[in-house]
Structure 1
Amino acid sequence: MGEVVGQDERVRTLLRALVRRVHELGPLEGGAPVLDVQELGVRCVLTPADRGDGAVLSPREREVARMVGLGFTNKMIAAALGISLYTVSTHLRRIFAKLDVPTRAAMVAVLAGQRVVDG
């Protein structure tokens, strides 16, 4: 059992080194696989992670953000989701912090993939 654990740790160390080296190579284009190999019946594919802004939000935060984008007020969102106004405000504060935006309009722009210009 100890030998297997040691081998697992060696594999993890090698994978971390590989990922660091790929990161050092610079930005990766279009999500195409960087590495696609099959060894001993195991296929290993290394692709760039999707870093879309929506990915950092929880499912509930995405739902609140979607409703803001549709023009819902906090009160309307609370009623539609069956949550309190305080909870809606908390979700919005967390979304703003995660996306590093100060307003609802900036949040919607970021999530729509538009560049936000500081005013």
Structure 2
Amino acid sequence: MDPQGVMEDDRVRALLRALVRRVHELGPSGGVPLLDTEELGVRCLLLPMNPEPVDVLSPREREIARMVGLGHTNKMIAAVLEISLYTVSTHLRRIFAKLDVSTRAAMVAVLSDNHGLPKSG
């Protein structure tokens, strides 16, 4: 085998070892990402194929989605979180893109179906 092939084999073995270690550390519950490592100068990021919708949102996006689920308007959200109305709209556009929805109702439905909207209280 040529030197390049040997190096690629070593890289694959190292990545597999790192993956096995990571999955073993995480246990059955898993997490995001499953693997984020650098081996032999190559960064590898392994994400689950079907993450829960709430897992793709940032903490701020989750908070805004929760507030939308509670019936708050963008203006109310902006006031409560002390951010601009434009920032709220930007967060909602990003949430819609991440969840592949086009309305607030669809966003709430997707997150409610996946237990992504925590209850108020």
Q: Given the two structures, how large is their TM-score scaled by the length of structure 2?
A: 0.58
Question: Does 2:75 correspond to 1:75?
Answer: yes
Q: Which has the larger radius of gyration?
A: 1
Rounded Cα–Cα distance in structure 1 between residues aligned with 2:68 and 2:101: 14
Q: Report how many aligned residue pairs link the two structures.
A: 85
Give, as a single letter, the amino acid of the residue that structure 2 aligns with 1:89: S
Measured after TM superposition, the shift of residue 13 of structure 1 is 2.3
* Cα separation, partners in 2 of 1:107 and 1:15, compared to 1, 3 Å: farther
What is the alpha-carbon distance in structure 1 between the residues aligned to residue 107 and residue 82 of structure 2? 23
Q: CA RMSD in A?
A: 3.1
1:19 Cα offset (Å): 9.3
| 2: CA distance, partners of 1:43 / 1:92 | 33
Structure 2, gaps ≥5 residues long: 1-8, 33-50, 115-121
Q: TM-score, normalised by structure 1?
A: 0.59
In 1, the alpha carbon distance for the partners of 2:55 and 2:23 equals 23
Where do 5+ consecutive residues of structure 1 fail to align?
Answer: 1-8, 21-34, 36-41, 115-119
Q: Which has the higher helix share?
A: 2
Once residues 65 and 18 of structure 1 are traced to their aligned partners in structure 2, the CA distance between those partners, rounded to angstroms, is: 38
